[in-house]
Amino acid sequence: MPATLSPGVKKLLTDANFAHLATLAKDGSPQVSTVWTDLDGDRILVNTAEGRAKPRNVRRDPRVAISICDPSGYPSAVIRGRVTEVTNEGADAHIDKMAKKYLGQDKYPFRQPGEARLIIVIEPEDASGMNTD
């Protein structure tokens, strides 16, 4: 059953805070990546590129966890959920939006030639926070 994120957790996800996304590798071991986050309602959006471990892992096993905090370390939140979609639709514009949020730049400056961007859509199932009323 989808979880409703509290306003404090949503603020952590919409502010320019770095998050850590845990996915499961083929052997079941955790793989953690630092990511930029965005929200669509209560769904969490993470932008990545085809060929990386994140999309490969979530296509095989959609279970994920996200840890996020503001620069001081508090407030913080841990969210567990499932990936419900991996799409390239709107992914190029989305990474530019994230570059504006996190870098203050209109275009994502780290794009590689031939890179195919993807949006990973996460449906939260459980969220807990500290100082996130």
pLDDT digits (tens), the chain, 133 positions: 788 999 999 999 999 999 999 999 999 999 999 999 999 999 999 999 999 999 999 999 999 999 999 998 889 999 999 999 999 999 999 999 999 999 999 999 999 999 999 999 999 999 998 887 6
12 vs 101: CA distance, rounded Å? 13
> What are the residue boundaries of the structural domains of the chain, listed by start?
7-126
Q: In this predicted structure, what is the pLDDT of residue 68? A: 97
Q: To 5 degrees, how large is the angle CA 126–CA 132–CA 133?
A: 95
Q: In this predicted structure, what is the pLDDT of residue 58? A: 98
3-class DSSP assignment, residue 88 = coil
Instruction: Identify the CA nearest to 17 among candidates 78, 73, 88, 81.
Output: 73
**Length of the chain, please?**
133
- Could you give the maximum distance between any two Cα atoms of the chain, in Å? 43
Q: In this predicted structure, what is the pLDDT of residue 129? A: 87
Phi, psi angles (nearest 5°) of residue 30: -75, 145
Q: In this predicted structure, what is the pLDDT of residue 132? A: 78
Instruction: Identify the CA nearest to 95 among candidates 82, 79, 84, 106.
Output: 106
Q: In this predicted structure, what is the pLDDT of residue 75? A: 94
From the options 2.40.37.10, 1.10.3720.10, 2.30.110.10, 1.10.10.410, give the CATH code of 7-126.
2.30.110.10
Mark 89-115 as b/e (b = at least 16 C-beta within 10 Å): eebbebbbbbbeeeeeeeebeeeeeee
The model's pTM: 0.95
